[in-house]
Amino acid sequence: MSRQYFGTDGIRGTVGQAPITPDFVLRLAHAVGRVLCRRAQAAGQTQARPQVLIGKDTRISGYMLESALESGFNSAGVDVILAGPLPTPGVAYLTRTLRADLGVVISASHNPFPDNGIKFFSAQGSKLSDAWETEVEAALALPPVWADSAHLGKTRRLDDAAGRYIEFCKSTFDSTLTLKGLKLVVDAANGAAYQIAPKVFHELGAEVHAIGCRPDGLNINDGVGATHPEALAQAVVAQGADFGIALDGDADRLQWVDRQGRLYNGDQLLYVLAMDRQARGDGVPGVVGTQMTNLAVELALQAKNIPLRRAKVGDRYVLELLNEQGWLLGGEGSGHLLVLDQHTTGDGLVSALQVLQACVRRGQDVSDFLQGVELFPQTLLNLPWVVGQDWRANASLVAACDQVQAELGESGRILIRASGTEPVLRIMVEAKEIKQAQSSAEFLAKSLTQIQQGDSSRN
């Protein structure tokens, strides 16, 4: 059975348009609740109701969707714990420590505020499998079966969720080190970490200047955060700070700025983490990136005898390959970094602390770790695309790709993929020269537009 609703990171879309509507979200929670109850019964766990933890980011629509989720779970006989605004990795952590059966996050991550979404974590705090999502979609197709009054679920609020998560984040930082003497600019994207992120770094000793920490329900990711790091770069230079840390709306991705205002992405930070561990004598048997990981980073890791394996784009696929290999470090250029001996999922705050730890321990800046690693220029273009349509079925576009790849030779590569979170086709071209990357990407985009126009005229 193919999945109709789930993308690469849960279910996401524009609020008020299917599937991000209150009625669907209620149905979704009811279906998930039925799956939980069925699995509990199959495991012989009949004494207690299943329990889910729900957290959210700062979007105004979160109130509405939270209520719908609560009702849907309760109607299926599932208890609910409401954590309020909390980063996605915070929900993963508390799901595990509270022994909940499921974690639920209401967030559209880096998307603008009109969007929202629902994503899930297992009882172990990790992303759920495609098979689980397929089982939920099958349950969605069935008529509801309401629990009788005696077996309806109950709801309670967890008042100290933020404090618990702050202490967890701090525990991942080497207790023999301190951030005293460092000045940081911390940008929470007006999102879920707006209260938490400044406190984490301040309580470890840093002087913190916060931006993007005044959410109003409408300004999440608006000109700030990991998707708009220029605001962070300007603030770091203006404040004379040592480092700048930008998170996205649900705080599971990280972008980094040094005191000169230079930006470092997830590929570079992943390399820093690997080099720090290798320098400490910790074994780094391998690192997992994605199809988008910059070729320069792969070559630099290979020079240090560290292999890089590429997963499909999406942190859940990075996690799957890490578990398959038995490795600890992985990530994406977008800033999703996985450090599996610290957390079960990507965490922007934990990743930032790991990078800070490396810099403090060795008395170096990020740029020192990256000497000699020059990223290959990448050009990424997004074009409107029909969800579910396979671009490889279009012979003309395949021919255009073959032509460009022949011109790039071994010094460049092409990646075309349909987004799992938006109705767009992402075209990426990587080459040694920026002009070649740009012209090749623009040629492919133009070819696609002409193909679509031709298809439209024939219809």
* pLDDT of 407 above 60: yes
**What pLDDT score does 451 carry?**
67
* pLDDT of 305 above 70: yes
Residue 261 · residue 233 · CB < 8 Å: yes
Among the listed ranges 86-90, 216-220, 269-273, 395-399, which one has the minimum average pLDDT value? 395-399
Rounded CA separation 284/332 (Å): 18
**What pLDDT score does 297 carry?**
95
* pLDDT of 47 above 90: no
- Residue 174 CB coordination number (10 Å): 13
User: How much of the chain exceeds pLDDT 90, in percent?
Assistant: 83
Of the candidates 32, 126, 44, 134, the residue with the CA atom closest to the CA atom of residue 73 = 32
Rounded CA separation 170/159 (Å): 19
Going by pLDDT thresholds of 50, 70 and 90, the confidence category of residue 456 is: low
Q: What are residue 11's DSSP bridge partners? A: 118
* pLDDT of 458 above 60: no
Among the listed ranges 161-165, 203-207, 303-307, 446-450, which one has the minimum average pLDDT value? 446-450
CA atoms within 13 A on the CB side of 434: 3
Of the candidates 263, 187, 264, the residue with the CA atom closest to the CA atom of residue 222 = 187
**What pLDDT score does 336 carry?**
96
Rounded CA separation 136/159 (Å): 30
Residue 285 · residue 257 · CB < 8 Å: no
CB environment 282-317: b (16+ within 10 A), e (fewer):
eebebbbbbebbbbbbbebbeeeebebbebebbbbb
Q: What are residue 162's DSSP bridge partners? A: none
Domain 11-159 class, CATH top level: alpha beta
Give residue-wise pLDDT tens across range 214-230. Answer: 999 999 999 999 999 99
Rounded CA separation 438/428 (Å): 9
| Residues in Cβ contact with 269 at an 8 Å cutoff, skipping those fewer than 6 apart | 254, 256, 331, 335, 337, 351, 355, 366
Rounded CA separation 106/10 (Å): 10
Rounded CA separation 258/370 (Å): 12
**How many H-runs (helices) and E-runs (strands) does the chain carry?**
14, 18
Alpha helices in 85-192 (DSSP H): 88-97, 130-140, 161-171
Q: Catalytic positions, please? A: 109
Q: What are the start and end residues of each CATH 3.30.310.50 domain in the chain?
A: 378-458
Q: What is the CATH number of domain 164-369?
A: 3.40.120.10
Rounded CA separation 442/275 (Å): 36
DSSP 154: -
| Residues in Cβ contact with 446 at an 8 Å cutoff, skipping those fewer than 6 apart | none
| Residues in Cβ contact with 141 at an 8 Å cutoff, skipping those fewer than 6 apart | none
Rounded CA separation 252/109 (Å): 8
Superfamily assignment of 378-458 in CATH?
Alpha-D-phosphohexomutase, C-terminal domain (3.30.310.50)
Q: What are the start and end residues of each CATH 3.40.120.10 domain in the chain?
A: 11-159, 164-369
- Cα distances from 281 to residues 51, 268, 274, 285, 302, in angstroms, run 42, 20, 11, 12, 17
DSSP assignment string, 197-262: HHHHHHHTT-EEEEES----SS-TTSS-STT-THHHHHHHHHHT-SEEEEE-TTS--EEEEETT--
**What pLDDT score does 417 carry?**
85
Question: Where do we find the tokens 């990790």?
Answer: 126
* pLDDT of 206 above 60: yes
Rounded CA separation 243/206 (Å): 11
What is the distance in angstroms between the CA of the first residue and the CA of the last residue of the chain?
30
Question: Where do we find the tokens 């930070």?
Answer: 269
